[in-house]
Structure 1
Amino acid sequence: MFQFSNILGAVYHKGDVVFSRDGNCVYSPVGNRISIFDLKNNKSSALAVEGKYNYSILAISPNGNILITVDEMGDAFLISLISGTLVCKHRFKQPVQCLKFSPDGKYFAACKGNSVHLFRVPGQFGKELSGFTAEKVFYGSFDSTTSIDWTSDSRILAVGSKDSLVRLYSIPKLNRFRVCTLSSHTDAIVSVFFEDGTLDINSISCNGRLCIWEANLNLSDLTVAERSEPRLPKRKLVDTHNLADDIDTTRGEERLLNNPKGEENSDPADNETEYLSYKRLARHFLLNRSDKPNLKLTTCSYHKAMRILVSGFSNGSFFIHELPDVNLIHSLSISDVGISKVAFNVTGDWIALGCEDQGQLIVWEWQSETYVMKQQGHSSGISSFSYSGDGRYIVTGGEDGKVKLWNTQTGFCFVTFCDHTSEVSYVKFAPNKKFFASASLDGTVRLNDMTRYRNFRTLTSTRPVQFISLAIDASSEFIAAGGQDVFEIYLWSVKIGKLLEILSGHEGPVVGLDFNPTISSTELTSVSWDKTVRIWNSVESQIQHETIRLNSDGLCVTYRPDGGEIAVATLDGQIAFFNVATSSQTGLIEGRNDLGSGRSDTDLIKAKTSLQGKAFRTICYSADGKYILAGGQSKNICIYSVNESIIVKKFVVTQNLSLDAVGDYIDRRKMTEFGNIALVENREDGFAAVKLPGVRKGDMAIRKTKPEIRVNCIRFSPTGQEWAAVTTEGLLLYSLNDSYVFDPFQLEETITPASILEARAHKNFSTALMMAIRLNDVKLVHTIIESVPPSDIELCVTSLAEVYVKKLFVFISNTFNSTDHVEFYLMWLKALIKTQMFASPSAMLALQKNLKLKYSALSKM
């Protein structure tokens, strides 16, 4: 069955960006999923673990086996990076600002509110079955804690908070240690860092002030205290905001904190013992705020071994300084919006930078000043996408007016087109795989070349029209586009770029267009809000057309791959099937109840009434034409059997409650005596944020809004191995995973692995191969295929029945890209093609795709 495999169209939303322990992978939160970018192999993937809200905190253990993620509501997930599965959960019950593992891997600390919670890490250091075993809780901050750091021996914790103070806590009880408080900042602490192997501290605040602190003791001077020692009297804490800003040592502070009246210390042992204290060596200002008074330091990271500090600012620039002299090494501006997060890899050569507002993720090699990776998703939602003919590439069009090309194998975007000046409403790959077209609300249809990646043709109409639908015929010679404000269909020639015909007749926006996929036909089908489907003979006789009346407004139309049938989605939640030759209805699917209600927080109507307004907005046939995928204003994607008109499978694309209309019910906790709390206006400065009536996307006029979950476009890959859907979160890929499914074929009792290996030992290769195919064990089929001598391949293939030839062809075409025996498997393919017992077109396309991938990999050597 199809399983979630990757997410494209979005590379970073918000939260932490972390490197793996080997420094070759970057972990980035994308909504409620985690994307992994492998910089060494140039591939991206996504963890199958899905949270209930958007992730904001990521942390990887020192051994690289455990990933802890925390969402914006405070739910923590402990994930095993070995198996990629969820181990356990923990609820912090409020947002977590920071989380960090200790260097020895025994503990991790989390900042929650004005406290720091210490937990024991499960695994080799503990015998607990629970993943989150609480050890200690440290209090003392007057405001929310923002950052934490450990000493290299994992015994002392430094905590920075919004009250502009840095506090030190010890994990075991240590001699010559008391809780220290460092106060020299006038703004919230952004980060605090220990120097490697020492107790020296660097602290940096929001206003760009960097303080360098020197400790009077070494790590070896602090020994673990015996438990029999009497406890020190509890100190009385006072607000250190009122202390002088230029206090150079915290020893004087401690004297004030312990004895505010200034009396002499009565404990003689206290006078003899030298406790840990700090002296401020220097104070530096990283930014000049005179020209930009609102400029803020948003994030920073420190590499302890190289003593390099990188700091990101709210204007999109970042600085690299060398400590302790704070020498500026490099400064660069990557965008006009603020940098949300920066991180060093383990060697300190690469810096990862994430920008929340633009959805941008950059890995920068600062020594050579080059980009290791530069990826940016669509800043707004994705409206449409299309597969290339061999399934290698995906083109996406967004509401931001950009068109992006993605590689399905690597998951990276490699070309971005910014020619359109308004929202891109529809994109389509040409069947000849040489170009793709994009239609936009700016009144143009642009054709982009797949060889040189440039816009080589711009098609326009006689008067300005907002194009919302697009179709390319099977010969890639004609392009048709339908209008939203002008109810006409425009037909152009690709070769000469000339407008050939204007097809009139619809009385509403032309929301769906599709050409007959057979080469010999130029038949065009259109659907509109006027409750009609029209079948045009667009080239030969543009006047004659067949009109099919619908029960409701048409929303989408698509052809079956063989061109003999069309499917139409209507506003009443139905999918109707029509025979193209006779224009008669052949089937009907009632799918409204399968969509689910999905109530919004601000809905004034009940779930049953809300369901009556739901409908499928996009439909697509599978590669073999037996099934149809449908999605719309819901989190559900339904797969129906065309012949039996029943639902086969329902996919829930997300469980992210950070989006609107995901739940089927409104939480009772949001219902107050005044009604739904989401409907209560939050007036700030006397003004109410009023939502524009009828607006579903774009500028809502409300600055705090939750995007509504919806499926904008669904497409099946031509290879039949995967399908993808454009949702509010991005482009989700679902691929066929056969590796863990036991699916035997005509199995008998005599067919066992032992009997197959015995047949191979007697050199009965054709018999052994047929038995292995029937058992359908992937490893066993590999073993039998590779044990056949090259001279016996052709003889072995000719002795196979047609059904085995087709299954063997599909098996080899799907596994060709992962093998190192290229010539050997090419001999198999040559022998299989000679039999002229070809498999399905999707298997041929899968073979073509894998051949191109193998060729592109070998051609670089």
Structure 2
Amino acid sequence: MKTEFKVRETSIRYFRDNMLTTYTVLQPSRDCLYNTSHTLPLAHRKNIARLSLTPRGNLLLSVDEDGQAILTNIPRRITLHHFSFKSPVSALAFSPSGRHFAVGVRRQIEVWHTPSTPDQNAEGELEFAPFVRHRVYNGHHDVVQRLEWSSDSRFFLSASKDLTARIWSLDPEEEFVPTTLAGHREGVLGAYFSKDQETIYTISKDGAVFRWVYLRDPNAPEPSDDEMEDVDDDTHMRWRIAERHYFLQNNAKVNCVAYHAESNLLVAGFSNGVFGLYEMPEFNMIHTLSISQNNIDFVTINKTGEWLAFGASKLGQLLVWEWQSESYILKQQGHFDSMNALVYSPDGQKIVTTADDGKIKVWDVKSGFCIVTFTEHTSGVTACEFAKQGNVLFTSSLDGSIRAWDLIRYRNFRTFTAPTRLSFSCLAVDPSGEVVCAGSIDSFDIHIWSVQTGQLLDRLAGHEGPVSSLAFAPDGGVVVSGSWDRTVRIWTVFDRTQTSEPLQLQADVLDVAFRPDSKQLAVSTLDGQLTFWSVSEALQQSGVDGRRDVSGGRKITDRRTAANASGTKSFSTIRYSSDGTCVLAAGNSKYICLYSVSSLVLLKKFTVSINLSLSGTQEFLNSKFMTEGGPVGLIDDQGEASDLEDRIDRSLPGSKRGGDPSARKRIPEVRVTGVAFSPAGRSFCAASTEGLLIYSLDTLPLFDPIDLDLAVTPASTLHVLQKEKDYLKALVMAFRLNEAPLIRTVFEGIPPSSIGLVVSELPTVYLQRLLRFVAKQAEDSPHLEFCLLWIQAILVSHGRWVSENKGSVEAELRTVSRAVAKIRDELRRLADENVFTIDYLLSQPPPGKGVGSSGEQKSITGGDVQILDDEDDDDAEWIGLD
């Protein structure tokens, strides 16, 4: 457990502030085809405001709120360059050729050369600067909102808040003058070229769509005969409005637009949560759909024009819609409010999170997607806990109910309530799943219900303050409760005489946790102390002062520095590792601390976030952001917005967060509300202001130079495999080089008859890597029997080693189990289809002779299907089935 944890690539996040265009610190990338997501290691110091990919998809340019840009190689997931535009960036677009990109920096437009990758720069020219500015364009009087290139990358359009759109040329063109397209009554959100570049569409915020064509100026003098003969003379030609169309959406404003030139599709997202799809230039409405209760803030169309992607920031929604079949490809929504608790499923494949928005979400660890959301609770959900089997989930809420959820049928099958209306703050479930107990912040009693009948069994009285935490011992013998009355009580609820053993502490109890062997109890208190108690003797064994470990980060409202504010920090959530050797603790801080229970040493501190858009991530505050009215971040500047809709304040007086969707803007504080170890002990997750984070030891290194020498090369490995036929040596050499394509080549090049011998002679140091690789191949490879032979050989030859090292190979064994189950289901389905096909063929007319479609005679006899054709007909063919 002393090995350093690293952020796993399948980290899950729910999005805040600005969906699709604002991510924080680590930015997730979602694959809609394969239903997976991975996290790119981008270390921005503020929320990301703009993203753009090159047409080839190999380079990603991301810019944060302050104009700090990072260039990333997407296939290798490597940061190439950091750059500053020195001002906030409002628009960003790569040219179709991929050689330039345009940036809207307030009122200016800057065009830069795209850095070339080695495969692009075939001539081997040296580039001395990653970013080289091509030109700067001035002319707009307000912020540039959109940039769009022509298909030949010679021209681009800019849309601005100054009610105009403009046409620019990349390089000076003969007889071309930058043109202004004016006429809109509100800010222009988008301007687009048609496919033939003979038409321009501009869309403004008030819902007006103008179609511009290149026509002769009607005020120009009549052309002479010479001018009529000169076809190329466009002296009196002008871009003019040919048609005006309007979106009629009941006074709703247009928030975002996108246009697909290849299919002439225009899609618009409105402030009432509705999007419309229109066919241009006729402006025929294909369909409209309400997909959100709030504004749609972002929309885009994929390259083929089949999928539409939408983002709604207030509810954290991400939708991918296929408009032809009118079906969802992807529908994800994060928690609207802060998360309160989380728990791993017993198999380690799912994580359940609960939040103040009353929602319960189940996340798939492998894909990073939310697979189900429960919304039956009417108030904030405070705690969640699995039954031992993992098919039943229990949650407690401030609405006064405890609910039991069936995770096979995804439904609420039992609801527990108290005789009086209470707001439950914590719960615990008996390992057998027959009893559930909950504590409240209103009553000082602990309520116990029967899961089978739903009846209230008992109320445990004894605490003199609100119950803050509950925990059942893993062996089910006792239940422990922590309270704000500075005591922890150990209850024996299953005895005939229910007794409690009080443990006195020095401060309010925030959380309690049992060691997996049920012999030790960890308690976190408000004064930042971690104490460890013996359950059988009710005596304190040791303790840790964690105030200085958890302290760090100065909020913008703090009057003291981070170093002097350690007394206000504490651990609000603690959990034991699977083997009981470590304790994970976190609280109202940007740090997660990992302690050794035996030596009481801090093993590792994990920084949750370095995002300066959150309060509490900085150690020192900048004095220039302090004014007479207080910190700049807390001053409401909504009334200074340029648009009328942005100036209107529709929020309730004093509203900060919670049920009011129009909450006042404030800077969220970085904190961790829940942590949990996976059952395998190889990873842990944390619910924080940044979202749901997963830290894991199972990260594959890019290169592992162990036991390498000059003779181990890909060429020599293939020579050993193909020429020398030394399969064991070739496999070991491939593992040493650790290149996935080479390992796959060697793996598939070993004959099935040699698999058992190779596996039996393989050194144990490579067994875990081989098991991981075979498990991955069993899921993805079409060679089903080949992979099953490898799995069988590993378990037969090294079954004892696998059993002794089950903790370290638990993830691989789960993958193997899942792959074998998948193969079994596919084979069963295929066999059923074959049976149905054979039944169908056998149910055809009685045995006899008939004439086939090609004129030959066929005969069906019993279960055999044969063909009787002329000997000279070589093209006749029929399938024989036994």
Which range moved further: 604-613 or 460-469? 604-613
- Equivalent in the alignment of 1:432: 389
1:586 corresponds to which of 541, 548, 553: 541
**TM-fit CA distance, 1:497:** 2.3
Match of 1:86 among 79, 90, 98: 79
State the alpha-carbon separation in 2 of the partners of residues 250 and 127 from structure 1. Answer: 52
CA offset at residue 465 of structure 1?
A: 2.1
Contact 2:15–2:23 at 8 Å: present in 1 too?
Answer: yes
Q: Structure 2 vs 1, CA of residues 614 and 279 (structure 1 numbering), >3 Å: closer, same or farther?
A: same
Q: Is the 8 A contact 2:12 2:369 kept in 1?
A: no
Structure 2 partner of 1:297:
254
Indicate whether 1:383 and 2:340 are aligned. yes
2:142 paired residue number: 143
Give a deviation string over 1:394-429, Cα, whole Å, max 9, x none.
111111111111111111112111111110000112
Q: Find out whether 1:191 has 2:168 as its counterpart.
A: no
Overall identity of the aligned pairs, in %: 35
Which of 587, 594, 607 does residue 562 from structure 2 map onto? 607
- Structure 2: which amino acid aligns with 1:722? S
Q: Distance in 1 between matches of 2:730 and 2:89?
A: 59
Q: Which residue of 2 aligns with 1:134?
A: 133
DSSP 3-state at the match of 2:819: helix
Identify the residue that residue 63 of structure 2 maps to in structure 1: 70
Q: 1:8-43: per-residue Cα shift (whole Å, max 9, x none)?
A: 6645445574xxxxxxxxxx6433432211111111
Q: Distance in 2 between matches of 1:15 and 1:428?
A: 32
The counterpart of 1:285, out of the listed 242, 246, 249, is: 246
Q: Deviations over 1:645-678 (max 9, x none)?
A: 1112111111111111111221121134676445
Distance 1:566 1:782, change over 3 A: farther
- Give 1:506 shift: 1.5
Cα separation, 2, equivalents of 1:155 and 1:387? 54
Render the CA deviation track for 1:452-504: whole Å, top value 9, x for unaligned: 11111111223222211122222222222121111122222222323222222
Is residue 392–residue 849 contact of structure 1 (8 Å, CA) maintained in 2?
A: no
Task: Name stretches of at least 5 consecutive residues in structure 1 with no aligned partner.
Answer: 18-27, 217-247, 254-268
When residues 688 and 40 of structure 1 are mapped into structure 2, their CA distance, relative to the original with a 3 A threshold, is closer
Compared CA separation, residues 701 and 420, structure 1 to 2 (3 A): closer
Query: What aligned pairs does 1:182-221 form with structure 2 within 5 A after superposition?
Result: 182-216=181-215
Does residue 663 of the first structure (1) align with residue 666 of the second (2)? Answer: no
- Structure 1 position 813, deviation (Å): 6.2
Q: Distance in 2 between matches of 1:791 and 1:272?
A: 79
Match of 2:586 among 631, 649, 654: 631
Matched, 1:156 2:155: yes
- Provide the rounded CA distance (Å) in 1 between the counterparts of 2:505 and 2:720: 63
- Whether 2:521 is the aligned partner of 1:566: answer yes
Q: Deviations over 1:97-141 (max 9, x none)?
A: 111111111111111111111111111467434332212111111
**Cα displacement (A) at 1:554:** 1.4
**Structure 1 contact 691–701 (Cα < 8 Å) conserved:** no
Q: 1:14 to 1:441 in 2, by over 3 A?
A: closer
1:458 aligns to 2:383 (yes or no): no
* From 553, 559, 573, the counterpart of 1:618: 573
Shift in alpha-carbon separation, 1:815–1:14, aligned structure 2, 3 A: farther
2:34 aligned with 1:41 = yes
Amino acid of the residue matched to residue 373 of structure 1?
A: L
TM-fit CA distance, 1:737: 3.7
Q: Given the superposition, is the C-alpha separation of residues 682 and 40 from structure 1 closer, same or farther in structure 2, using an over 3 Å criterion?
A: closer
- Separation in structure 1 between the aligned mates of residue 220 and residue 260 of structure 2, nearest angstrom: 31
Alignment size in residue pairs:
792
Residue identity in the other structure for 2:181: L
Tell me the equivalent position of 1:712.
673
Unaligned segments of structure 2, at least 5 residues: 222-229, 640-646, 830-882
Aligned pair partner of 2:787 in 822, 825, 831? 822
Give the distance between the partners of 1:465 and 1:318, measured in 2 at CA: 42
Are 1:4 and 2:7 counterparts?
Answer: yes
Distance 1:285 1:687 in 2: 27
Task: Report deviation, 1:633.
Answer: 0.7
In structure 2, what residue type is equivalent to 1:83? Answer: R
> Could you tell me which amino acid in structure 2 is paired with residue 569 of structure 1?
S
Q: 1:758 to 1:545 in 2, by over 3 A?
A: farther
**C-alpha distance in 1, partners of 2:407/2:651?**
46
Distance 1:394 1:150, change over 3 A: same
Q: Which residue of 1 aligns with 2:604?
A: 649
SS of equivalent to 2:811: helix
Query: What is the alpha-carbon root mean square deviation over aligned residues?
Result: 3.9
- Aligned partner of 1:395 in structure 2 is 352
- C-alpha change, 1:529 and 1:762, in structure 2 (3 Å) is farther
The alpha-carbon deviation at position 846 of structure 1 amounts to 2.9
Q: Is the 8 A contact 1:620 1:629 kept in 2?
A: yes
Distance 1:44 1:104, change over 3 A: same
1:248-397 equivalences under 5 Å are: 249=217, 274=235, 277-287=238-248, 292-293=250-251, 295-397=252-354
Secondary structure, counterpart of 1:30 in structure 2: coil
Q: State the one-letter code of the partner of 1:552.
A: A
Q: CA deviation at 1:843?
A: 4.8
Contact 1:401 1:418 in 2 (8 A): yes
CA, structure 1 residues 794+186, in 2 after alignment: closer, same or farther (shift >3 Å)? closer
Cα-to-partner distance string for 1:82-110 (whole Å, 9 max, x where unaligned): 21122112222322111111111111111
**Residues 679, 348 of structure 1: alpha-carbon distance in 2 compared, 3 angstrom cutoff:** closer
Q: Distance in 1 between matches of 2:734 and 2:152?
A: 57
Structure 1 partner of 2:398: 441
CA contact (8 A) 1:384 1:398 kept: yes
Return the alpha-carbon distance in structure 2 between the equivalents of residues 140 and 98 of structure 1. 16
- Provide closer, same or farther for how the CA distance between residues 122 and 665 of structure 1 changes in structure 2, counting only shifts above 3 A: same
Counterpart residue type for residue 245 of structure 2: H
Structure 2 contact 194–261 (Cα < 8 Å) conserved: yes
Amino acid at match of 1:831: V
Pick closer, same or farther for the CA change 1:634–1:97 going to 2, 3 Å.
same
- More displaced 10-residue stretch of structure 1: 665-674 or 440-449: 665-674
2:791 aligned partner, one-letter code: L
Corresponding residue for residue 21 of structure 1: none
User: In 2 relative to 1, CA 277–837 (structure 1 residues): closer, same or farther, beyond 3 Å?
Assistant: closer
CA shift in 2, pair 1:15/1:857, >3 Å: farther
Task: Give the Cα–Cα distance (whole angstroms) in 2 for the partners of residues 671 and 479 of structure 1.
Answer: 50
The answer on 1:543 being equivalent to 2:498 is: yes
CA contact (8 A) 2:53 2:60 kept: yes
Q: 1:474 to 1:675 in 2, by over 3 A?
A: closer
Equivalence for 1:257? none
**Shift in Å at residue 624 of structure 1?**
2.1
With normalisation by structure 1, the TM-score equals 0.83
Letter in 2 for 1:182: L
Query: In the alignment, is the contact (CA less than 8 A) between 2:13 and 2:693 conserved in 1?
Result: no
Shift in Å at residue 170 of structure 1? Answer: 1.6
Map of 2:108 onto structure 1? 115
Q: 1:545 to 1:132 in 2, by over 3 A?
A: same
CA 1:827–1:841 in 2, change beyond 3 Å: closer, same or farther?
Answer: closer
User: Mean Cα displacement is larger for which, 779-788 or 837-846?
Assistant: 779-788
Q: Is the 8 A contact 2:191 2:200 kept in 1?
A: yes
Aligned partner (choices 798, 803, 808) of residue 838 of structure 1:
803
CA contact (8 A) 1:480 1:490 kept: yes
Q: Does 1:508 align with 2:465?
A: yes
Tell me what 1:173 maps to: 172
Matching residue within 465, 485, 495 for 2:452 = 495
Cα distance in 2 between the residues matched to 1:784 and 1:103: 40
2:372 match: 415
| Aligned pair partner of 1:96 in 68, 89, 97 | 89
